[in-house]
Chain A
Amino acid sequence: MTSPSTVSDTRRGDPATDPPAPGPGTARQRGRQPRPGRGGVLAIFLTPALVLFLLLVVAPILVASYASLYKWNGFGLPENFVGLDNYTRAFQDPTFRGDLWRGFVLVLLSLVVQLPAALALAMLLNQPLRGRAAYRLIFFAPYVLSEVTTAVLFDLVFSPNRGLGDAIATWLSADAGAVFADPDTVLYAVFLVVSWKYFGLYMMLFLAARQGIPKELSEAAVTDGATAWQAFRHVTLPLLGPTIRISVFLSVIGTIQLFDMVWVLTRGGPIHSSETMAVTMYEYGFRRFEVGYASAISIIMFLLSLVFALFYQRIVLRRDTAGAITNQGGQR
């Protein structure tokens, strides 16, 4: 313990200062350390994570891609090789095609409703406002609740006869009906619950990014005669670009994998009108024991996420690592 003061100083200072360049900086300090065999150290430190990850994350994906080529009930070894039949079946299955469409609708709704609303709220909470901390605390709270408790709560909130939604509708002398039992409304109702739980997360991300932008920038714009809206549109919004793009990414990936909420609220019904890919996969895999087909759906989900991620990384996020101005908040 030679100099504890430097230690705590660097820790406190690090969010502001740039970290050393990743590549050369890491290699440099090795020269001074001859003692424990280098390979040995690497092996010891990497083994637990690698074993866990390869065995329980990577292997299942590989198994799934293998199983997806077979007609298999999940017991014994897969024997009935069917090639890509499970995949063509999925794309011909109206339910699975519906899953893709519903996923698209949910993403779209999230992009035009949830994220803009979260952004607007973040901008509000960035203003000096009494009780701001309390609002922030409340808006973010649903994020820590599990999707299951949220879903059960809202199932009851919207339940006909005893629910809150029903009472409010009666009060407004409108007819609420059972929103989760009506094929026309169920997807929007699910979206509502998803937004209730997650908009606080996006709001918090936007708020953090907003606070990372120096005040002087929009102040300068206003001094130069821009209206508040213009300052937001042309100064703040572009600087929030990286966070917005990450939020879009999270929202798409999250939608592809949506399961808990839908399973508890509707089991995908009525007549598949709220079913998602993950629900279809679960239905076939764990209820009808068509493990081969369900594996194909898993792999399609994985490929969709992966392709989207790679595409997004290349086309959209590249700006954030290459750009000069938009790189403000990043640490790379």
Chain B
Amino acid sequence: MTGTVNRAQRTRSLVLHLVCVVVGALIVVPVWFGVLGGFKDNGQLSTNPLGWPDPWTPSNYTDILTSGVFWRQLGNSLLIAVSSTFIVVAAAAMAAFVFARYAFRGREFLVTLFAIGLMFPFAVAILPLFVLLRGMGLLDNPLGVILPQAAFGLPITIIILRQFFRTIPAEVEEAAVLDGCGSFGFFWRVLLPMARPALATVSVLAVVTSWNNFMLPLVVFTDQSWWTLPVGVQAFQGQYTAETARVLAYVVLSMVPALGFYAVAERQLIGGLTGSVKG
């Protein structure tokens, strides 16, 4: 009796594993193909797209890593991601504090306005945004990407933070006030430190969206020296259409920072996404 149950269970778990391995392979194999492909030359890619490189040709990777263009794009992406994240989290935290803990006329209207903002993707606003940025002289200027990036990140950041700020009990605020805290003191010395997990979550989300943004930098930067990684990858592909192996190496290298960041911040990212859906 127990024998059959065990066997049934074992088959079941085997099938589960099989499904997971197949799906996992669908995810991993294309990336693996890229990683190995970067170590081949084009001749090898045509005759042997699947197997191990023979011989290994690291020049695709080393050329990119020594050229400087890749590093500059990495630096640009980093600068833009960090500054826009800082701005959006700071501005959103302040607004969310007011939305969460103050009652005032027009509050619901403003909250709804920001919520509707979720419906404003770059694709909808990019054209007038471009005209506007041109008018302000912010084309080919990192601020032309950083500020809109921060602005478009406000809705989701405010929604998540507001939800979190509401959960901090009124007693904590009363205690802080008795101890002599004003609004600013409470916000700065009590609320923000308590909200550290939520702040980490929204920061990770903001970094990822900014890092992956393509349309805005594509439109704002005509000057190549400001290009971010997504724009750079796309341009590199256009430039070396015939050299598949080289492009593969560039794609793989551009994935490394994102995947590294994911490895470090996975918990915050997933917490934020699943949490925001509940909100």
Contact = CB atoms under 8 A, between A and B. Distances in A.
Interface of A: 2-3, 6-7, 10-11, 14, 17, 19-20, 22-23, 25-30, 32-33, 35-36, 38, 41-42, 44-46, 48-50, 52-53, 55-61, 63-64, 67, 74, 121, 124-125, 127, 129-131, 135, 137-142, 144-149, 152-157, 159, 161-164, 166-168, 196, 200-201, 204-205, 208-209, 243, 246, 253, 257, 259-260, 263-264, 277-278, 281-282, 285-286, 291, 294-295, 298-299, 301-302, 305-306, 309, 329-331
Contacts of A130: 17
B49 A331 contact: no
Q: Determine which residue in A48, A291, A329 has the highest number of CB atoms from chain B within 10 A of its CB, and name it.
A: A48
Nearest to A146: B212
A146 B20 CA distance: 24
Contacts, number: 311
Nearest to B163: A331
Contacts of A309: 116, 119
B14 to A, nearest CB: 11
Contact of B121 (A129, A162, A204, A257): A257
A67 B269 CA distance: 38
Interface string B207-224: 010011111000100000
A25 B114 CA distance: 22
B120 interface: yes
Contacts of B259: 141, 144-145
A309 B116 CA distance: 9
Given A144-B262, A147-B214, A164-B33, A155 B237 contact: yes
A63 B120 CA distance: 14
A164 to B, nearest CB: 5
A45 B169 contact: no
B167 A167 contact: no
A196 B147 contact: no
B29 interface: yes
Size range of the interface on B? 35 or more
Nearest to A305: B119
Contacts of B26: 196
A203 B112 CA distance: 29
A41 B151 CA distance: 21
B16 to A, nearest CB: 6
B127 A45 contact: no
A49 B92 contact: yes
Contact of B94 (A30, A49, A137): A49
7 contacts: A42-B102, A53-B114, A59-B132, A64-B128, A156-B37, A260-B230, A298-B126
B206 interface: no
Q: Determine which residue in A49, A201, A278 has the highest number of CB atoms from chain B within 10 A of its CB, and name it.
A: A49
B132 A60 contact: yes
B11 to A, nearest CB: 14
Chain A, interface SS category: helix
A56 B129 contact: yes
Given A260-B215, A301-B124, A331-B279, A30 B103 contact: yes
B128 A295 contact: yes
Given A124-B20, A294-B127, A57 B119 contact: no
B10 interface: no
A29 B178 CA distance: 12
A259 B233 contact: no
B170 interface: yes
A331 B262 CA distance: 27
Q: Determine which residue in B98, B158, B233, B274 has the highest number of CB atoms from chain A within 10 A of its CB, and name it.
A: B274
Given A45-B95, A138-B28, A149-B233, A156 B132 contact: no
Interface string B225-242: 000011101100100000
A164 B213 CA distance: 27
A298 to B, nearest CB: 5
A144 B210 CA distance: 11
Contacts of A44: 94
A243 B169 contact: no
A50 B273 contact: no
